Amino acid sequence: MSTDKAVKEDFLRQAAPYRRELLAHCYRMLGSVHDAEDQVQETYLRAWRSYDGFEGRSSLRTWLHRIATRTCLTALESRGRRPLPTGLGDPSADPYDTLVERSEVPWLEPIPDAMAGAEDADPAAIVTSRESIRLALIAALQHLPPRHRAVLILRDVLKWRAAEVAEVLDTTTTAVNSVLQRARARLDEVAPQEDLTEPTSPEDRELLARYVRAFEEYDVAAIVRLLTADAVWEMPPYTGWYQGNEDIGRLISTQCPADGPGAMRLLPTRANGQPAFAVYMRAADGAHHAFALQVLTPAPAGVAHVAMFFDLRLFTAFGLPAVLPSSMERSVASVP
């Protein structure tokens, strides 16, 4: 085996374990699981090409994150931010109004926990991973300029020293500290204050099980009772967002294409460190086809936020079937 080939194979062997955390890093920067996958591939390609020059002055992990950060910053030069409907600046919509779809907007996307390392075997790593990919946090990060976003992620999530961040961004530690202060202040302005609860207790799990039953039975009154009084519902690529459980109930009653009990089936999954459900809608052929992906934010008083994504490419990213198998056609109200 040639020396060059041996070196490159050594790189692939050593770099492979960092793929998930690099994907999570790129996702925090970009707000898209698909863009993040592309930039991780670009990171590995750049690192593979330049591995001969890696001098080991930092760890391989740090070196890869440096490349990934620069790769994401380059990608962001030609891209706008990825909002959720709540981030467009419009007031909450009337549930009786016609839905407005804007498929040309590069909407924020959720990420599967399994891809971002939020299902790690280490409980401490699970908590860290879940907190740093919460959907509300990723949406708030989109309000920051790309370099501010990079500084905040490197300092507050990855816990890098200011000098390390300055080296990545070709700036000074003074500039990094100044940017970090402004980024934190801006994040405090745009990030919602969430009173979150993890669905670990029997009561929490029962809440999610009742949520599934309510949708599968198309019981709008039950859905309304399971939402908090000031719950928020949004569903890109539709621009409207809705606040208040009663208004959300009106929206579901008037806009949902379900025709009665059994029209919908919900398959549990996890996204952004939060409970999520793949929603399948019964079609003319009698089978349940992929319809949307819901990401829930549970709170002590009920479900406080639902983001419903209609991009069916997400079903592939989450490893979900396009058509619900016949073995799952009965209620799938089990909660992860």
Burial of residue 32, with CB atoms counted within 10 A of its CB: 0-12 exposed, 13-18 middle, 19 or more buried: buried
Position 257 pLDDT exceeds 70: yes
With b for 16 or more beta-carbon neighbours within 10 A and e for fewer, the 267-288 pattern comes to bbbbbbbbbbbbbbbbeeeeeb
Give the pLDDT confidence of 131-158 residue by residue, as tens digits: 889 999 999 999 999 999 999 999 999 9
Sequence spans of domains, the chain: 82-134+194-336
Measured in whole angstroms, the distance separating CA 110 from the mean position of its chain's CA atoms is 3
Q: Which CATH number fits domain 82-134+194-336: 3.10.450.50, 3.10.20.740, 2.60.210.10, 3.20.20.30?
A: 3.10.450.50
Question: CA 113, CA 104: separation in Å to the nearest integer?
Answer: 27
Give the pLDDT confidence of 49-108 residue by residue, as tens digits: 887 777 666 788 999 999 999 999 999 998 889 999 999 999 999 999 999 999 999 999
Give the pLDDT confidence of 263-315 residue by residue, as tens digits: 999 999 999 999 999 999 999 999 999 999 999 999 999 999 999 999 999 99
Q: Of 270, 267, 332, 275, which Cα lies nearest the Cα of 302?
A: 275
The token pair at 84 is: 């959720």
DSSP-based helix, strand, coil % in the chain, nearest 5: 50, 15, 35
Check whether the bond before 237 is cis (ω within 30° of 0).
Answer: yes
Which contacts of 197-200 are long-range, i.e. CB under 8 A and separated by 24 or more positions?
Answer: 197/298, 197/299, 197/300, 198/298, 199/275, 199/298, 199/335
What pTM does this model have?
Answer: 0.90
Position 201 pLDDT exceeds 90: no
Residue 128's pLDDT is 52
Question: CA 326, CA 333: separation in Å to the nearest integer?
Answer: 15
